[in-house]
């Protein structure tokens, strides 16, 4: 039995493009949704053409044309959604409900919905307005499970480019040069993942019976780091100490006032990650898997190496 045919929805997106590349690299017949709505977005067009050059097939479909979605998913065995969550660019997680319906109608297809962050099933207590990310992901999961569609939920923890590159500072995507805000005592453990490894693990899970109807965490031992440990790695690389300013929980949460919606969402997520420790304050359960344990052959990127490009 050959490798499953994979359709990536949201394939020109930030994690989506990496999932397309990983699917091609691991030898899956790879399909990418081509939406008419991308119009004159030349960057997306160029990305789609580059995927085609690498052997991917483009499938035209639109979320405003349900039958085009059904026709598209009928070409494949597995659909992976990398639909945007709540952040800088757009916020369309609930559009996936149409995709669930199309997959249900087509039948015999596994679905990996757009997760790739904190496990939303553990965030019932999450702060407003950031909780919307988790609530919407849970609505999609409910639809998948009610439709009895086989699934795998990929919990990516923190994308390194959004959380490690900036030493976990908000509002910037490069390391600070003089001072760094430390959340509380900075000793709460987080998990930082290179996005390319998330894509690799996601594709490894596609045909793996061990991940069928399971939650797959990316929590490799060397990448379980506190913010203070991450800062120390950077200081070692630069040979320069940063001035550390400890931010109390109260002051951090108070900073939400006066921020725009996305900023407030971010404060909520950062709070749960760096004050509460929501990524590491639990053991991975019986009915759950950890990616570096299932796929020890993957030489996942450590943050010492990830940070080098920012020097």
Q: Point out which residues bind ligand NDP (CB under 6 A).
A: 10-16, 33, 35, 38, 44, 63, 82-85, 87, 89-90, 92, 95, 114, 116-117, 133, 156, 158-159, 162-163
Has 137 been annotated as catalytic? yes
Q: Closest CB to ligand GNU among 89 and 210?
A: 89
Please pick, among 5, 44, 104, 137, the residue that the annotation labels catalytic: 137
Binding track over 39-78 against ligand GNU, x by CB under 6 A:
----------------------------------------
Q: Minimum distance between the CB of residue 310 and ligand GNU, rounded to whole angstroms?
A: 13
User: Measured from the CB of residue 14, what is the shortest distance to ligand NDP in angstroms?
Assistant: 3
- Token pair, residue 171, equals 């509002």
Among 256, 265, 303, 307, which residue interacts with ligand GNU (rule: CB under 6 A)?
Answer: 265
The encoded tokens of residue 271 equal 């709070």
In this chain, which of 87, 122, 244, 302 binds ligand GNU, going by CB under 6 A?
Answer: 87
**Are 8 and 33 in contact, with CB atoms under 8 Å apart?**
yes
Helices (H), 6-159: 16-25, 42-53, 66-73, 96-106, 131-146
Closest among 89, 100, 88 to 9, alpha carbons compared: 100
Secondary structure (H, E, C), 215-272 = EEECCCHHHEEEHHHHHHHHHHHHCCCCEEEEECHHHHHHCCCCCCHHHHHHHHHHHH
Helix, strand, coil percent values for the chain (each to nearest 5): 40, 15, 40
What is the smallest separation between the CB atom of 1 and ligand NDP, expressed in angstroms?
A: 29
Show which residues are catalytic: 137
């Amino acid at each position: 039995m050959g490798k499953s045919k994979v359709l990536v929805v949201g394939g020109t997106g930030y994690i989506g493009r990496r999932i397309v590349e990983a699917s091609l690299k691991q030898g899956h017949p790879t399909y990418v949704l081509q939406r008419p709505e991308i119009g004159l977005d030349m960057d997306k067009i160029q990305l789609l053409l580059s995927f085609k050059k690498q052997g991917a097939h483009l499938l035209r479909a639109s979320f405003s044309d349900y039958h085009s979605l059904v026709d598209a998913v009928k070409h494949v065995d597995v659909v992976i959604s990398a639909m945007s969550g709540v952040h800088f660019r757009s916020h369309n997680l609930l559009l996936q409900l149409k995709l669930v319906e199309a997959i249900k109608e087509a039948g015999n297809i596994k679905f990996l919905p757009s997760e790739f962050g904190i496990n939303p099933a553990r965030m019932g207590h999450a702060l407003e307005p950031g909780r919307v990310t988790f609530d919407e992901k849970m609505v999609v999961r409910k639809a998948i499970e009610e439709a009895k569609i086989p699934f795998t939920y990929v919990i990516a923890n923190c994308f390194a480019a959004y959380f490690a590159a900036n030493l976990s500072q908000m509002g910037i995507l490069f390391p600070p040069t003089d001072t760094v805000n430390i959340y509380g005592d900075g000793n709460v453990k987080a998990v930082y993942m290179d996005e390319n490894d998330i894509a690799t693990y996601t594709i490894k899970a596609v045909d793996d019976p061990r991940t069928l109807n399971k939650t797959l965490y990316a929590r490799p031992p060397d990448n379980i780091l506190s913010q203070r440990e991450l800062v120390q790695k950077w200081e070692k690389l630069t040979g320069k100490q940063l001035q550390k300013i400890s931010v109390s929980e109260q002051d951090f949460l108070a900073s939400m006032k006066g921020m725009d919606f996305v900023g407030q969402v971010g404060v909520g997520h950062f709070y749960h990650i760096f004050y509460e420790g929501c990524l590491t304050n639990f053991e991975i359960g019986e009915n759950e898997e950890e990616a570096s344990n299932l796929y020890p052959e993957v030489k996942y990127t450590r943050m010492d190496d990830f940070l080098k490009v920012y020097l």
